[in-house]
Structure 1
Amino acid sequence: MDYETPLFFRVMQYAADADGDVIDMVSGNPDWEPPAALREGLSEYAGADPEQFQYPPSDGLRELREEIAARRNVDVSQVVVTNGAGEANYLAMARALERDSGSEVILTDPVYPYYPGKTTMLEGTQTYVETDDAGRLDPDDVRSAASAETAAIVVNSPNNPTGAVYPEETVRELVSIAEENDAVLVSDEVYDHFDLSGAFASALSVDSDHRIVTNSFSKSMAITGFRVGYAVFPKNLVESARSRHMLVNVAGSRPAQHAVLHALRETGPDYYQANRDRLRERVETFTAALERAGATYTKPSGSFYVLVRFDGFPGTLENVERLIDEAGVAGMPGNAFGSAREDWLRFALVTPRVEDAADRLVEYFG
């Protein structure tokens, strides 16, 4: 079987090999400090008894699952700790497809490229629903696309790459569409701590056996290398997902889970608010520069990505490499995210050099 290989690593490697100074705005690796309590948890763990260096429970440390369940107002039995949101989405999509209720997966366009890749890997078929210019998803379009063949509807809010945030009425409608078609809404909420609009609504706010919510601490705690995520399943769907997780991964990292648990318990809201404030400043700096350069762009309501279109400079891989070589700024080609924004580029605002990158783009395109 041929799988679609995301372009992220190819672009990152090209930027790393380029001559001169290149500002990396390719991947969503936060550049700020993790919570201080996370480092404390790791240091504490180094002195643990040898038995604490052995396999943890396959579905995650009980105390971590209890902490997540309490925060998300679900039963602990519904929570599976995963190898980041990547595995959480894989388990959720697999569970939707293995119910013998169709093989179609409805995705948005633009789309985070790992979703169609996972669909192919799981032998499903993709159907795309285009979002509007601001990245908003119209539930009526999803309802028109859905049918008895629909196994899953996969959405991401706050969204990568558009920065859109889906309000409560949209989320409720999406759950309703899943119920009407015996499908599963898979709601990837990994950027929930980066809602800049105040409009974000979790799919967990809707009680249903037809929705699975996935998340991770990778972005919210700036620890993409720790690989601690989770999925919240309806009670009737969790057992098979737990078994698949065990067969694929056996278990997750005990030290990483311990550190995340300590950080969850000891980190107050100020940490997350400071990161949102930092991001708001970067959005303003970067989009103001895009205005000066005469670009068209999406201003994110959440997450930390900006989609940009420069006249006469379509977002191809060739032009991304050209921008790296000639302007010293590395972004992602729009065609990596589907067909709707092929002429666009995506930039991740997770570098302290956002202002430098903005100046370089103004000089190059202005």
Structure 2
Amino acid sequence: MDYEEPLFFRVMRYAEAADRDVVDMVSGNPDWEPPAALRDGLREFADFDADEFQYGPSAGLTELRGEIAERRNVDPSQIVVTNGAGEANYLAMARALERDAGDGVLLTDPVYPYYPGKAQMLGGDVTLVPVAEGGEIDVEAMREAATEETALIVANTPNNPTGVVYSRETMEALVSLAEEVDALLVADEVYDHFDYTGEFESALTIDSENRIVTSAFSKSMAITGFRVGYAIFPESLVDAAKTRHMLVNVAGSNPAQYAVLQALRETEPEYYEETRSMLSDRIAAFTDALDEAGADYTRPEGAFYVLARFDGFPGTMANVERLIDEAGVAGMPGEAFGPARADWIRFALVTPRAQEAAKRLADYF
């Protein structure tokens, strides 16, 4: 999979140029309100003394790192607050590939396209390993693909685009595999607040020097534009990551970090519960319409994406454009996520028009 301009942008541009109304189900931009405490935090910061507008600690505001550390049961020194989960994953992947432990990278297929892009940019040799039919990682296939040159394994759970929540046994097996071949497992848990099974367990509960966990507040607080994420490293790996972060970014945004801190401290669990309930309703309505359309689909256990396959209508870029023009619904071509689900189309249920889009698809097919 060669890395070029992400297909996301091509699809969005095509949808924007369409001469009809189009329901955008392309990208994972939440459409709901952020926590009220986040807005309050921004207002508070605006009235701080001018010295608070200068550089903050490079690794992140001390209080924010402390709050994350307490919630994740780690030491604050292990945390780097980053420019979203994107930088968190970049730092983790760079740390894996700069250890002189090889340049092999094992990724799932289907895969979030930015993973192979980052890996290739960092000089990694990417191998896509197809998941099992239901979307669970095929651990044995991963083991067969691993070699002494494997330096990095990436697992995103809950998963984009399949919606699968990987079992604890799967994550333990991947950590064990990473230890066996001296690779690093990067567990991207950015969708951890969107678990509909009640069975998600963070990889932080698996103790290992070969495990890094990344996350962000972009999705859980509906603030993708704030770019506040974090990576949690073993003590032996964190210093080099902090140096790379400092050289690339100097430091993160103080007002964004402060607002997130206030939201963490003051937002009640009901905020997240209501969001999950709303998304569960959307998932039910959308998959009911897919049943009506005679489609195969993945029902999300987590995150907020649905992969669907329509008979005689493979998920190519050309067919995605056709769906925009003829049905007024924009999704992502399956080929963007790798060859294993190239016949499928991914829909992001982060629009209040998800039910309307579902009806359009049912009528069209």
* TM-score, normalised with respect to structure 1: 0.98
Q: How far has the Cα of 1:146 moved from its partner?
A: 1.1
Cα offsets for 1:264-302 (capped at 9, x unmatched): 000111100101101110110000000000000000100
Q: CA RMSD in A?
A: 0.8
Q: What does 1:280-359 align with in structure 2 at a 5 Å threshold?
A: 280-359=280-359
1:98 aligns with 2:98: yes
Q: What does 1:80-229 align with in structure 2 at a 5 Å threshold?
A: 80-229=80-229
Q: How far has the Cα of 1:133 moved from its partner?
A: 2.2
Distance 1:355 1:3 in 2: 33
Cα offsets for 1:20-69 (capped at 9, x unmatched): 21100000000000001001101111111101111111110000000001
1:38 aligns with 2:38: yes
Cα offsets for 1:323-343 (capped at 9, x unmatched): 111111000000000000111
Mapped contact 2:190–2:215 kept (Cα < 8 A): yes
Distance 1:101 1:323 in 2: 45
Distance 2:205 2:279 in 1: 26
Mapped contact 1:113–1:337 kept (Cα < 8 A): yes
1:361 aligns with 2:348: no
| Aligned residues with identical type, % of pairs | 70
**Secondary structure at 1:186's aligned position in 2?**
strand
What is aligned with 1:277? 277
Mapped contact 2:191–2:220 kept (Cα < 8 A): yes
Distance 1:134 1:56 in 2: 45
Mapped contact 1:161–1:346 kept (Cα < 8 A): yes
Equivalent residue letter for 2:204: L
Distance 2:236 2:17 in 1: 49
Distance 2:173 2:3 in 1: 32
Mapped contact 2:191–2:302 kept (Cα < 8 A): yes
Structure 2 gaps, min length 5: none
Q: How far has the Cα of 1:3 moved from its partner?
A: 3.9
Distance 1:338 1:313 in 2: 17
Q: How far has the Cα of 1:10 moved from its partner?
A: 1.1
* TM-score, normalised with respect to structure 2: 0.99
Distance 2:141 2:197 in 1: 24
1:230 aligns with 2:262: no
**Secondary structure at 1:237's aligned position in 2?**
helix
Distance 1:41 1:202 in 2: 28
Equivalent residue letter for 1:148: E
Q: How far has the Cα of 1:353 moved from its partner?
A: 0.5
Distance 1:168 1:312 in 2: 37
Mapped contact 2:110–2:341 kept (Cα < 8 A): yes
Distance 1:91 1:35 in 2: 28
Which stretch shows the higher mean deviation, 24-33 or 126-135? Answer: 126-135
What is aligned with 1:21? 21
Distance 2:186 2:314 in 1: 32
Mapped contact 2:12–2:26 kept (Cα < 8 A): yes
Distance 2:153 2:4 in 1: 20
**Secondary structure at 2:236's aligned position in 1?**
coil
Mapped contact 1:5–1:117 kept (Cα < 8 A): no
Q: How far has the Cα of 1:129 moved from its partner?
A: 1.2
Q: How far has the Cα of 1:145 moved from its partner?
A: 1.3
Mapped contact 2:3–2:116 kept (Cα < 8 A): no
